[in-house]
Amino acid sequence: MKTQWNDAPGGFHPASAPDFLPRRELERLQLGRLQSVVARAFERVPLFRRRMEEKGLRPDAVKALPDLAKLPFTVKTDLRDTYPFGLFASPMEEIVRLHASSGTTGKPIVVAYTDADLQVWTSVMVRTFAACGLHKGDVIQNAYGYGLFTGGLGAHYGGEALGATVIPISGGNTERQLMVLQDFNVTAICCTPSYMVHLIERAKDAKIGFGRLKVGVFGAEPWSESMRHHIEQETGIKAYDIYGLSEIIGPGVGIECAQQDGLHLFEDHFYPEIIDPKTGAVLPDGAEGELVLTTLSKQAMPMIRYRTRDITAIHAEPCPCGRTIRRIRRIGRRSDDMFIIRGVNVFPSQVETALLQVEGTLPHYQIVLSRVKGLDEMEVQVEVTPEVFSDTIGSLESLQRKLADAIDHVVGIRVKVHLVAPRTIARSEGKAKRVLDQRNI
């Protein structure tokens, strides 16, 4: 699949992408697309039409971009309740691809694409890779899972359209990943950040380096700034945070540029709002809240004001890279990942930050929640590494104390730290499972 920018001689020219449109031109484009997508959803998606009518609204209520705030939200359970095809706005014969999420509880959610949707998806992935400094001639090892998960195919077609060489290795088989990385002169890798940490560990064991690797495009799970430092220091690559979700399109909703200071949203296709998760009120740029996205150009499955559950803030200030599309702060917290222990809201990323503050601790950890005699207990299992292991009980106990202190400092509660032997915490080849909740609530 080719895109207009990539067809130019010499490959991709990022300056010709909508990333750099003057704001007023961009907003004009957004409004036109918003009006069409709202009309399309109203005409073709019964659930959306009903919700609009309940509010006494018709598509012509959208006269300017801020009018979006009048429209009803869409939430994840809407996708489950209308399983499998209830939110489709195109007839099946126009739908050329289906993906589905890993439904951890019950039915998965299904998402659909027309040919035009796939072209948009590919174009935003081209812009994603370009923002990471990749171009024709780069060799991309795509270790996102191929299949129902959107990560694999999304990155795949984007990489090809960029003009890069794509290795569709998919997830897993770490030995082969490391071999291919060396032998095929790979310059960029796509995978989850936790899998990258695993690759680093195994490469160290095998005493091999990362060859020509210079860029990592990591996403599909929240990861901390300290984890980025760890990956960059261990490998010498630049680690970029990519954002996306199947409900909106897959990977390619937002990406960091070379500044690595927030993720640019491809807002010519995905319009962002930040809301107060409790009241639903739209918050101004800069304020922290839940990210709500509207797909401006989606045909098969338009999402109007989809609540992502991701907590972030919009940065509207101009970026030194010249992109005019706005940025969101890195997402360290998903309201879905949050758990409450003894009345305190805790995000796994906070625990990760705390652990990394204690020198020498690799981010292999797991949080285990249990209920003992009616009381919630939180235990953090941390693998002992050669760097932190010394041969007296006292020094290990002092390490446990330091880790518990660091968590206490960041999270605000005292937890039990359990030192475990290396490689005893299960490694994930996709999204890391950081929290094991055994409370049976």
Partner 1 sequence: MMIRQLSLFLENRSGQLRVPCKVLGDAGIDILTMSLADTQQFGILRLIVKDWEKARKALEAAGIVVNVTDVLAVDVPDRPGGLASVLESFEKAGLGIEYMYALAAARERGQYATLVFRLGDPERAARLLRDAGVKLLSSEELFARAGA
Considering only residues 29, 419, 435, 436, which one is a binding residue for partner 1 as defined by CB under 8 A? 419
**Nearer Cβ to partner 1, position 115 or 397?**
397
Which positions from 344 to 383 touch partner 1 by CB under 8 A, shown as an x/- string?
----------------------------------------
Tell how strand 215-218 and strand 188-191 pair up. Answer: parallel
Cα–Cα distance measured from residue 360 to residue 378, given in angstroms and rounded to the nearest whole number: 23
Cα–Cα distance measured from residue 177 to residue 340, given in angstroms and rounded to the nearest whole number: 37
Cα–Cα distance measured from residue 303 to residue 87, given in angstroms and rounded to the nearest whole number: 9
Q: Does 397 bind partner 1 (CB under 8 A)?
A: yes
**Nearer Cβ to partner 1, position 329 or 418?**
418
Which positions from 253 to 292 touch partner 1 by CB under 8 A, shown as an x/- string?
----------------------------------------
CB of 409 to partner 1, least distance (A): 22
Of 160, 171, 255, 179, which is closest to residue 217 (Cα–Cα)? 255
Q: Does 436 bind partner 1 (CB under 8 A)?
A: no
Cα–Cα distance measured from residue 66 to residue 64, given in angstroms and rounded to the nearest whole number: 6
**Nearer Cβ to partner 1, position 137 or 422?**
422
CB of 402 to partner 1, least distance (A): 15
Cα–Cα distance measured from residue 315 to residue 85, given in angstroms and rounded to the nearest whole number: 35
Q: Does 318 bind partner 1 (CB under 8 A)?
A: no
Q: Does 391 bind partner 1 (CB under 8 A)?
A: yes
Cβ-count burial 389-415 (b if 16+ within 10 Å, e if not): eeeeeeeeeebbebbbebbeebbeeeb
What residues contact residue 130 under an 8 Å CB cut-off, 6+ apart?
12, 14, 17, 162
**Nearer Cβ to partner 1, position 10 or 386?**
386
CB of 375 to partner 1, least distance (A): 19
- Total chain residues near partner 1 (CB under 8 A): 17
What residues contact residue 292 under an 8 Å CB cut-off, 6+ apart?
73, 272, 273, 274, 275, 305, 306, 307, 308
Considering only residues 70, 424, 438, 439, which one is a binding residue for partner 1 as defined by CB under 8 A? 424
Q: Does 389 bind partner 1 (CB under 8 A)?
A: yes
Neighbours of 382 (CB within 10 A): 24
Neighbours of 279 (CB within 10 A): 9
CB of 381 to partner 1, least distance (A): 10
Considering only residues 420, 433, 436, 437, which one is a binding residue for partner 1 as defined by CB under 8 A? 420
Binding site for partner 1 (CB under 8 A): 384-386, 389-393, 396-397, 418-424
